[in-house]
Structure 1
Amino acid sequence: MKRDGPLTGIQVLDLSRVLAGPFCTMILGDLGADVIKVEAPGQGDETRGWGPPWAGETSAYYLSVNRNKRSMVLNLKTEQGQAILLDLVRHADILVENFKVGTLAKFGLPPKRLLEINPRLIVAEISGFGQNGPFSHKAGYDYMIQALSGLMSITGSPESGPMKVGVAIVDVLTGLFTATGILAALHERNSSGKGQILDVALFDASVASLVNVASNYLISGKVPQLLGNAHPNIAPYQLFQTRDQPIIIAVGNDTQFRRLAECLGCPWLAEDPRFAKNSARVVNRKALVQKLETILTKHTSSHWISLFEELNLPSAPIQTLDQVFSRSQVKERNLLVEMEHPTAGNISLVGSPLNFSRTPVSYRKYPPLLGEHTEEILREMGYSRMQVKEWEQAKVFSPNEKRSE
């Protein structure tokens, strides 16, 4: 029998938009939380218009991080809009926002006031540079944070120059860090009975994600350089050219290297003092790579991949997304989800990577239309249809927003 998700009964107010915040709240929604996406009148979440590509009238970008939510339109610049939000806060468990620092305070809704109204509330504030510090007033965007945090200085090759990661990875990592912090705060609340404020910055998340590369610098004092597809601490662990196309070889220890050398028909390489130990291979990386590529270019990528798989040597081709989503591994791991959408029809979404033995994730709600659930939520709060109509006329939310009947 299918059970409720681990966060069933938890209500989340999602005042965020674009990627980091919505990605975080989608994780919570997949885990069973009731997520109310509070959007501004008019356009709503900016990513609704970030296309092509489109599925019907909806952008693929918006669809990627907004399932398992209900959309409610509120004009927080109006007193009634603020009052409705405060009513929502009284019964919520979590509030996530990624406004520019100080915006909620301008609305008369600073986090401390929210906690006074609901002492059990967990407020997660996502910003570019955090709630304090000399850069706190600056807006933060993934691309600029990749540059400022040092991530771009280690991504790319000497030939290409600094490169950004192919996806907005800082936003994704920030969303993951925020979800982790929220779950920790929920756990702590079980014993203290108190909520708290969580301050997460894109800059901080990116710097923290430099892990071993940052540690290499802090310990050695040497500024890391562009390594392209090589690893700073392991060799051979990079992209290699074969006769037809490149492949990845990821040798993680000396035993694997000996197997690789034997497989390539040059066992003597594992006895050469320049290559016998990983530390020596890192120092003599250039010479090693030249020797390996001389051999690898004699045969095709499929030849080598097949041979390496037989010997349990870590290697892989570079797959395009059509190849990725055609793999049976994707199907077996439930990484492709089909949902019916009222304007986009049948849509395909990437599934959650979380697999629970008793309380599985679920896909209950398609990414909502703008304001689709405004009236539904207001009625749940106890407001009458007449009040809803009055607020509609007062532009607390726009009358042209789409709402569920």
Structure 2
Amino acid sequence: MTNLWSEAEAATGRPLSGIKVIDLTLARAGPTAVRHLADWGADVIRIEPPAADSNSDPAAGARHGPDFQNLHRNKRAMTLNLKSPEGHAIFMQLAAEADVIVENMRSTVKSRLGIDYDAVRAVNPGIVYGSISGFGQDGPYAARAGVDQIAQGMGGLMSITGLPGQGPVRVGIPIADLCAGGYLAMGISMALFDRSRTGQGRWVQTSLLEAMVAMLDFQGSRWTMAGDVPQQAGNDHPTGIPTGVFPTADGHINIAASGQRLWERFAQAAGIEHLVTDPRFEDARGRSRNRAELNALIGEVTVRQPSQYWVDLLMEAGVPCGPINSIDQTFADPQVQHLGLARPVEHPALGEIRIVASPLQMTGADRDIRRAAPDAGQHTDEVLGALGLDPDRIAALRDQKII
């Protein structure tokens, strides 16, 4: 039998090199968690069901499209019918050798398939089993299907996003999915560290709802500690004033001049020193109470010059500010380019493509994309051959729709 887990992956020198992951996830939150692990060296085998149409994904679009390629880079892929006895047996062989399994099935589904935490732990006590759900593994909403926008609404985010009086507004990215995936990857990493001391695995769980409520952060604690229900503040910071979007001669700019010292620096640089001693704005409480008036007065000044003028002036004065970029402008920004946030990878059909890099940097480890997202079943024969199955047996499994 050859080595199931790629030696090339173990030789990368990345912090998760040698960690073996089975990816059973669908949609976005689960694949996001696995992507974090794969980016930092884990050897991931993604298991998908055999399907007639393998060229698209309901959540991530066309397999060769930008969403799928970004979501599933650095992984291998195989197909396997977990509902068949033979497919289940192959899965358990893989699970016995794995370090991590990640899934986002409903609790009843994974139990019915016999691939739940207890079933896997019976053959591999050291397994770290990561689960993402919409609302939790148990409780009154456990059986509900959860998607990002539903979690944004139920978690309170849509009530504080948008302009005052506009009505609920979703965030422009799948933030509940992305945050839940990030939290799960962090939890899996902690469980792996704990296993290095105890030898025992853990079941690590999170949900879109839990991630969304946690991401409320200070807006949530305003309620839990003070009984204050935050409202929509639009482009204004809810508590730090003046912080928000202001018009310029050629667009808009963000300025963050909250706190007395920053407010005074900004007023001096902008030539509105007289507002510092104005009774309406002389302290934080007054600036909060008279926010609309203050913003209007600032806007009358900022609109006279282009955005870059204000960036240069306010940076010199030590006042945080920045342009409001479109996505193409973001990737053209010299600091974004310096940070290398778009990385090339070679795809066998698409040629060289560029993928959004991990936001982490570590000494002694690069964050280059090692492999493009795999085609469906691309590595099935490779994985099964490493398990000891000969070509005739693999062909028979394919004929029986098990792979």
Relative to the length of structure 1, the TM-score reads 0.92
- AA partner of residue 219 (structure 1): M
- The 5-angstrom pairing of residues 329-348 of structure 1 reads 329-348=335-354
Cα distance 1:219–1:287, how it changes in 2: closer, same or farther (>3 A)?
farther
Tell whether the 8 Å contact from 1:245 to 1:301 is kept in structure 2 after alignment.
yes
Tell whether the 8 Å contact from 2:357 to 2:368 is kept in structure 1 after alignment.
no
Cα distance 1:78–1:45, how it changes in 2: closer, same or farther (>3 A)?
farther
Q: Distance in 1 between matches of 2:337 and 2:308?
A: 23
Q: Distance in 2 between matches of 1:124 and 1:195?
A: 11
Offset of 1:284 from its aligned partner? 2.5
2:128 is aligned to 122
Q: Distance in 2 between matches of 1:91 and 1:144?
A: 37
Q: Distance in 2 between matches of 1:250 and 1:75?
A: 54
Q: Distance in 1 between matches of 2:201 and 2:95?
A: 12
Offset of 1:122 from its aligned partner? 0.5
Identity among equivalent positions (%) equals: 36
Q: Distance in 2 between matches of 1:296 and 1:276?
A: 20
1:89 is aligned to 95
Secondary structure at the aligned position of 1:6 is classed as: coil
The answer on 1:276 being equivalent to 2:282 is yes
- Match of residue 369, structure 1, among 375, 380, 389: 375
Tell whether the 8 Å contact from 2:102 to 2:130 is kept in structure 1 after alignment.
yes
Cα distance 1:37–1:219, how it changes in 2: closer, same or farther (>3 A)?
same
Offset of 1:78 from its aligned partner? 0.8
- Match of residue 227, structure 2, among 200, 221, 227: 221
1:47 is aligned to 57
Q: Distance in 1 between matches of 2:167 and 2:305?
A: 30
- Match of residue 211, structure 2, among 205, 208, 225: 205
- AA partner of residue 318 (structure 1): I
- Match of residue 264, structure 1, among 267, 270, 276: 270
Q: Distance in 1 between matches of 2:83 and 2:98?
A: 21
Offset of 1:271 from its aligned partner? 2.6
Relative to the length of structure 2, the TM-score reads 0.93
Structure 1, unpaired ranges of 5+: 398-405
Offset of 1:3 from its aligned partner? 5.5
Q: Distance in 2 between matches of 1:299 and 1:265?
A: 13
2:191 is aligned to 185
Structure 2, unpaired ranges of 5+: 1-10
Secondary structure at the aligned position of 2:360 is classed as: coil
Q: Distance in 1 between matches of 2:82 and 2:325?
A: 45
- Match of residue 402, structure 2, among 383, 393, 396: 396
- Match of residue 168, structure 2, among 141, 162, 165: 162
1:37 is aligned to 46
Offset of 1:299 from its aligned partner? 2.5
Tell whether the 8 Å contact from 1:40 to 1:76 is kept in structure 2 after alignment.
yes
Between stretches 26-35 and 242-251, larger displacement belongs to 242-251
Secondary structure at the aligned position of 1:307 is classed as: helix
Q: Distance in 2 between matches of 1:254 and 1:244?
A: 29
Offset of 1:159 from its aligned partner? 5.2
- AA partner of residue 109 (structure 1): I
The answer on 1:99 being equivalent to 2:79 is no
- AA partner of residue 322 (structure 2): A
Cα distance 1:48–1:347, how it changes in 2: closer, same or farther (>3 A)?
farther
Tell whether the 8 Å contact from 1:34 to 1:69 is kept in structure 2 after alignment.
yes
Q: Distance in 1 between matches of 2:396 and 2:354?
A: 38
Tell whether the 8 Å contact from 2:248 to 2:307 is kept in structure 1 after alignment.
yes
Secondary structure at the aligned position of 1:72 is classed as: strand
Offset of 1:218 from its aligned partner? 2.1
Offset of 1:48 from its aligned partner? 6.9
How far does the alpha carbon of each residue in 1:253-283 deviate from its partner, in whole angstroms, 9 at most, with x for none? 2111101111121212223343233343223
Secondary structure at the aligned position of 2:355 is classed as: strand
The answer on 1:302 being equivalent to 2:308 is yes
